[in-house]
């Protein structure tokens, strides 16, 4: 918060803190393999109806924005993720895109965490009590003897570590017999357990021992003679036992006298052995009752959530007696989390395998942009290996679908048949970016996942995430989400993504083995749907291990596994039907009434029985006969044309036809256009406009028939007709300045030499150049070969300052860019292509704050004594970014760029002369640019008949004047180009403006400090209202609640372009808690709501939300808010003398770099305290006071 310690007294500060997300500049170095924390991202969504360019073109435009490192398209969710090098660049991009009608949303990226880790800071975790598992016999009995399981990282106490633990168990001896307690208290060994006599309740005592109570209500007692019986009325010395877990998984029970419980072969029981050998070893076992099926997994007894004699399990053995998934078609479940240990013995058989990827060959076989994505993908580290480096995702996966009945480990709710898709976006610390989560959702939809399990959240609402979940809903994906671990009411304090209002979301709370809501679990009678076991859950962890964890993170996988079991049982069900079954089959509990919407705990048996009775969709029996489509849109990756559907032979059961994109893996993606009503025609057509951009993963179009009660599946197998997508995309520019070097073969009728040409000005749409003969009659002859494109582009300037940067060609063939004395807040990006070099000829800027960033190297300051100097850059695209801040300026800079030679040589070995010359045609795949064909005439060089080729025309001035076309001679002539600008010699401009004062100049009156927003809690309420809060240090709640102050607080929001027309209402003002205030100072927490203009669209509300996220991220918008609020809250001139004196006394506390507003507010606070009849209370004493609430 405070950047440095002030040594000369108690410090006051003015800054603003909101209340729950992550700063994009996260502290810490990060773990190996994670993305750098200094990377900033913006998520952009375009409106297809108003977009002026195709998505690939939009990506190209984004790529050259100042500070942009990478722009990545997510076509399936209609978005782009832009990575930038600074928060200032991110903020500027958001502000710029807000002005574009085609940009529905531009929002800074936010952070989220796994819901059972990371909720507390590292310092809080270190301050937690040390893991007491090894000292607690109940924990030892469960094998929890290593690590800080008591408490877990989020502070939740595990059940086995609390002071009073109750559990139900049976003890089986080494002989296979069970300990049984009769009504009289006599203990014996029985061959078959009975619920009335073989079940014991175990309670953990405060001294580390346990007590065992029979079903008759009496405790087991062992006396000094070694006799044991169940007659104890209360816990005492003789009813206390110690539990020791043996290395083979068994346990041994010893009395308070240090002797072990023994079961001998005769059936007798005694406590008289000093050592624990074979007869002293027991196994905790569950026995399936009639109507149940329990596998042979040795750790089943640990899975209380599946089956527990306390009665608050989810009846999984009863469900398994109906269906385990072993003989079904299976289902793909995406675990969007920290990854999965796909080598774990209890998971590897259940892992999803990408059918289009060849393992370990280092090639992106399915061409989805990810190499070797065999079991999923890692979006945190941008690679194809989703191995779990934490444990969270692996633990969730084991609960969903650990292999059942395999004689090892545990079993998941979905015993067999699930294909677990590992989508890692959380790093080894359990933190991740929303943009990476969106990429994971995009991948899951494209690869056919039917359910996504999401045990993460935090950071508040993000409209981009909501849109991605909406797209998943459209694709038929169920989205289970953990409700959160803060113990909050999500109706009042939302938690995302659980609070996203989409019809495919199921929000899940956590319960204990006693049926109560877990103390950590969030609830919400309107926003949390169901509850599931989440306390003390035993499951898989990386490295082949197992462990107990607690959290709503552990509850959500139970719902995911049950939904998968239901869907495999009845695969004809729709996503919405599966959700209705999950919610409608709960077991009502009084402990959940009024806390969650259904008031119940999920129940697997009830769900399968409901699925049996639930009427599945009934699609038509008849399918369309044929499908035809040919793309006619020349834009790359954009489709346009006419889709033709041949009607079914019998339309009696058909109400409509629909067209879907299908991935190469055979899974349905988004629909194309609206359904086509079936009217009895023999053929139907659907016009596709040229702005439709399908998913990156789309490979086919499939036509299906449907009716109100069901629709045929869009898949590659079956009766639905399909057509492979073939992009008609064409290059936008072609080869330039084609020339022939001359015939080296002196024989008549033969030639030998080279064709040389310049690459297209921008090869973004060129994959190769094809070389042909041109015949004497002008027709095209045979093809000689092709040359690959390299992604080349000539230097080009983009950004608002480009009109004032002089550009020219140098005599040596390079490009010169010059900026003289410059203004404040300039920005421009010069994009080029390497390899090459940049010569810095002149450089004079304000050091640090005004800079020219050449790739990753930043140049700043007055370098008159160091120029000229050269910076080399490697092959590939290069951005040179110029920016200046709002304060001092300098004399400017001058650079020259010498990039890779655009010339390409195509050698022609001795061959017969077939025509008059050669043609070079740019192509995108198989599609050639016929409107621009470069031609050069060829003369047969025979002694006495030779004709030397003309010299090639090489333009010396003017940008873009080298584009060539055929002239039928020995050289290419330049194409017509726009005349250079007359603003200066050989200078060009982008047409973005003619006058320099594009940004009003203003005098800088003070060096305002940046406002600090952290832990933001931007929460979308129903409708268009967005709620948030911030904290002002040094501002007493009593002062903040005054009408004049409240008006200034509201007025400060007008500094944001997005919020200036919105309605801002203060909800409450209160003193803050210790976690939000600087020690010893007063502080006010202001909760407010923002509502867009009346009648505004959802997109307008999204922009309001984005603006608030931008304020939390820091930057100029935050500085403007700080300055406006600081100036508004400054004392009146009448208090000037006293205020000046107080401010002078405080100046050493702040230093010159502190905001003027901070000193003024601190001085005002001291003046206020000094003039009171009684001393003003300290900020700590104000905390917890009743807030000022405004109607």
Running along the chain, 1191 residues long, what does each successive block of 10 average in pLDDT?
25 28 31 44 69 64 82 75 81 75 68 57 32 44 41 33 49 92 92 81 77 89 93 92 78 92 93 92 69 83 80 89 79 96 96 92 89 95 94 96 92 93 93 92 92 89 89 93 93 92 96 92 96 95 94 96 94 91 95 96 94 80 94 82 94 94 79 89 87 72 91 85 89 89 89 91 86 93 90 81 88 88 89 87 91 90 91 84 86 88 85 93 90 90 55 30 29 32 30 27 29 46 68 74 80 69 78 56 76 66 75 68 71 47 42 40 45 35 41 42
Residue 201, H or E segment: strand 200-204
Q: Residue 679: its pLDDT value, please?
A: 94
511 Cβ neighbours under 8 A, 6+ residues apart: 312, 517, 518, 521, 531, 532, 533, 534, 535, 555, 589, 591, 592, 601
Angle at 167 between CA 164 and CA 168, to 5 degrees: 150
Q: Could you give the CA distance from residue 825 to residue 839 in angstroms, rounded to a whole number?
A: 25
In a 13 Å sphere around the CA of 1145, the CA atoms on its Cβ side amount to: 14
The DSSP secondary-structure symbol of 409 reads S
Sign of CA dihedral 82, 88, 93, 95: positive
Is the separation of the CB atoms in 28 and 431 below 8 Å? no
Q: Residue 1006: its pLDDT value, please?
A: 28
Of 308, 337, 844, 1122, the catalytic one is: 337
Active-site residue, 894 included = no
Q: Could you give the CA distance from residue 795 to residue 1180 in angstroms, rounded to a whole number?
A: 60
Q: Residue 326: its pLDDT value, please?
A: 74
Q: Residue 746: its pLDDT value, please?
A: 86
Of 37, 40, 392, 395, the catalytic one is: 392
Q: Residue 681: its pLDDT value, please?
A: 95
Active-site residue, 622 included = no
Query: Which residue, among 20, 24, 64, 18, has the nearest Cα to 42 in the 3D structure?
Result: 24
Query: Which residue, among 434, 438, 422, has the nearest Cα to 108 in the 3D structure?
Result: 434
The DSSP secondary-structure symbol of 516 reads S
| 232 torsion bin: left (phi>0), alpha (psi -120 to 50), beta (else) | beta
Beta bridge partners of 869: 840
Q: Residue 186: its pLDDT value, please?
A: 93
Instruction: Provide the 3-class DSSP secondary structure of residue 241.
Output: strand
Structure tokens belonging to residue 213? 């109570």
Q: Residue 580: its pLDDT value, please?
A: 94
Q: Residue 768: its pLDDT value, please?
A: 92
Active-site residue, 392 included = yes
Of 553, 585, 765, 981, the catalytic one is: 553
């Amino acid at each position: 918060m405070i950047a440095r310690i002030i040594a000369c007294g108690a410090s006051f500060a003015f800054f603003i803190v909101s209340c729950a997300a992550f700063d994009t500049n996260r502290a810490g170095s990060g773990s190996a393999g994670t993305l750098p924390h200094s990377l900033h991202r913006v998520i952009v969504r375009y409106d297809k109806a108003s977009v002026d360019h195709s998505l690939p073109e939009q990506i190209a435009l984004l790529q050259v924005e100042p500070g942009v490192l990478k722009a990545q398209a997510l076509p399936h969710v209609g978005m782009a993720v832009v990575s930038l090098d600074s928060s200032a660049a991110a903020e500027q991009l958001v502000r710029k895109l807000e002005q574009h009608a085609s940009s529905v949303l531009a929002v800074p990226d936010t952070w989220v965490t796994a819901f059972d880790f990371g909720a507390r800071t590292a310092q809080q975790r270190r301050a937690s009590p040390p893991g007491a598992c090894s000292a607690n016999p109940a924990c030892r009995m469960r094998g929890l003897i290593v690590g800080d399981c008591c408490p877990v990282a989020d502070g939740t106490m595990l059940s086995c570590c609390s002071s009073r633990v109750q559990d139900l168990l049976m003890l089986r001896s080494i002989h296979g017999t069970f300990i049984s307690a009769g009504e009289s208290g006599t203990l014996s060994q029985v061959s078959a357990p009975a619920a009335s006599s073989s079940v014991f309740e175990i309670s953990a005592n405060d001294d580390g021992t346990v007590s065992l109570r029979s079903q008759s209500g009496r405790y087991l007692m062992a006396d000094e003679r070694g006799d044991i019986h169940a007659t104890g009325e209360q816990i005492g010395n003789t009813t206390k036992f110690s539990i020791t877990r043996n290395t083979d998984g068994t346990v041994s029970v010893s009395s308070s006298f240090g002797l072990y419980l023994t079961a001998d072969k005769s059936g007798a029981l005694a406590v008289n052995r000093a050592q624990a050998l074979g007869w002293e070893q027991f196994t905790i076992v569950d026995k399936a009752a009639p109507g149940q099926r329990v596998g042979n997994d040795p750790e089943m007894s640990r899975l209380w959530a599946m089956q527990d004699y306390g009665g608050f399990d989810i009846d999984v053995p009863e469900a398994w007696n109906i269906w385990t998934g072993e003989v079904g078609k299976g289902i793909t479940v995406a675990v969007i989390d920290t990854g999965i240990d796909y080598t774990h013995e209890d998971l590897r058989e259940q892992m999803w395998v990408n059918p289009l990827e060849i393992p370990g060959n280092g090639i992106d076989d399915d061409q989805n942009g990810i190499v070797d994505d065999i079991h999923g993908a890692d979006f945190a580290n941008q690679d194809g290996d989703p191995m779990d480096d934490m444990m969270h995702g692996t633990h969730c996966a084991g609960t969903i679908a650990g292999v059942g009945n395999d004689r090892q480990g545990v079993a998941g709710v979905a015993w067999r048949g699930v294909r677990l898709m590992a989508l890692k976006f959380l790093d080894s610390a359990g933190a991740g970016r929303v943009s990476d989560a969106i990429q994971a959702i995009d991948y899951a939809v494209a690869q056919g996942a039917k359910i996504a399990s999401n045990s993460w959240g935090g950071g508040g609402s993000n409209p981009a995430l909501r849109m991605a979940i909406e797209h998943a809903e459209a694709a038929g994906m169920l989205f289970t989400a953990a409700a959160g671990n803060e113990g909050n009411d999500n109706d009042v304090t939302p938690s995302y993504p659980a609070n996203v209002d989409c019809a495919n979301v199921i929000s899940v709370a956590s319960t204990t083995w006693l049926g109560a809501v877990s103390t950590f679990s969030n609830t919400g009678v309107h926003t949390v749907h169901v509850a599931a076991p989440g306390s003390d859950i035993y499951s898989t962890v990386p490295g082949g291990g197992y462990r107990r964890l607690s959290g709503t993170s552990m509850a959500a996988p139970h719902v995911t596994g049950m939904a998968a079991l239901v869907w495999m049982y009845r695969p004809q069900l729709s996503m919405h039907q599966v959700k209705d079954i999950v919610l409608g089959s709960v077991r009502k509990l009084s402990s959940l009434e009024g806390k969650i919407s259904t008031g119940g705990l999920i129940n697997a048996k009830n769900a399968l029985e409901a699925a049996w009775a639930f009427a599945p969709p009934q699609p038509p029996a008849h399918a369309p006969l044929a499908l035809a489509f040919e793309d006619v849109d020349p834009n790359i990756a954009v489709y346009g044309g006419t889709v033709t559907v041949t009607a079914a032979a019998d339309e009696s059961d058909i109400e409509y036809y629909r067209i879907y994109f299908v991935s190469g893996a055979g899974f349905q993606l988004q629909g194309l256009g609206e359904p086509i009503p079936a009217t009895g025609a023999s053929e139907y057509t659907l016009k596709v406009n040229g702005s439709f951009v399908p998913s990156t993963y789309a490979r086919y179009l499939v036509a299906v028939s449907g009716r109100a009660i069901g629709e045929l599946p869009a898949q590659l197998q079956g009766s639905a007709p399909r057509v492979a997508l073939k992009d008609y995309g064409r290059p936008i520019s072609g080869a330039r300045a084609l020339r022939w070097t001359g015939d080296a073969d002196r024989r008549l009728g033969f030639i030998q030499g080279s064709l040389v040409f310049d690459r297209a000005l921008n090869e973004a749409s060129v994959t190769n150049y094809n070389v042909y003969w041109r015949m004497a009659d002008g027709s095209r002859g045979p093809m000689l070969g092709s040359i690959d494109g390299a992604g080349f582009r000539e230097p080009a300037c983009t950004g608002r300052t480009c009109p004032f940067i002089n550009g020219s060609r140098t005599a040596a063939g390079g490009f010169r860019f010059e900026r003289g004395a410059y203004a404040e807040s300039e920005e421009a990006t010069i994009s080029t292509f390497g390899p090459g070099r940049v010569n810095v000829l002149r450089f004079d800027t304000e050091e640090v704050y005004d800079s020219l960033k050449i790739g990753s190297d930043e140049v700043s300051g007055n370098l008159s004594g160091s120029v000229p100097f050269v910076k080399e850059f490697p092959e590939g695209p290069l951005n040179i970014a110029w920016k200046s801040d709002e304060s001092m300026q300098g004399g400017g800079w001058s650079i020259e760029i010498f990039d890779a030679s655009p010339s390409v040589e195509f050698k022609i070995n001795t061959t017969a002369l077939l025509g008059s010359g050669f043609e070079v045609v740019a192509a995108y795949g198989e599609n050639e640019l016929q409107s621009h064909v470069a031609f050069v005439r060829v003369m047969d060089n025979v002694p006495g008949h030779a004709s030397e080729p003309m010299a090639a025309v090489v333009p010396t001035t003017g940008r873009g004047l080298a584009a060539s076309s055929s002239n039928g001679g020995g050289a290419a002539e330049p194409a017509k180009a726009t005349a250079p600008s007359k603003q200066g010699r050989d200078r060009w401009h982008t047409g973005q403006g003619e006058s320099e004062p594009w940004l009003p100049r203003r005098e800088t009156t003070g060096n305002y400090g940046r406002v600090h927003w952290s832990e933001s809690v931007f929460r979308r309420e129903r409708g268009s209202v967005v709620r948030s809060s911030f904290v002002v240090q040094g501002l007493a709640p009593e002062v903040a609640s005054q009408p004049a102050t409240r008006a200034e607080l509201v007025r400060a929001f007008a500094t944001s372009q997005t919020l200036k027309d919105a309605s801002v209402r203060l909800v409450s003002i209160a003193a803050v808690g210790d976690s939000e205030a600087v020690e010893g100072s007063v502080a006010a927490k202001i909760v407010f709501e923002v509502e867009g203009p009346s009648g505004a669209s959802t997109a307008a509300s999204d922009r309001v939300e984005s603006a608030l996220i931008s304020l939390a991220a820091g930057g100029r918008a935050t500085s403007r808010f700080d300055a406006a609020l600081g100036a508004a809250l400054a004392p009146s001139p009448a208090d000037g003398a006293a205020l000046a004196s107080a401010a002078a006394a405080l100046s050493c506390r702040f230093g010159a770099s502190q905001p003027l507003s901070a000193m003024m507010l601190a001085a005002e606070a001291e003046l206020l305290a000094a003039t009171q009849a009684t001393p003003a209370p300290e900020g700590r004493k104000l905390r917890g006071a009743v807030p000022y609430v405004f109607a």
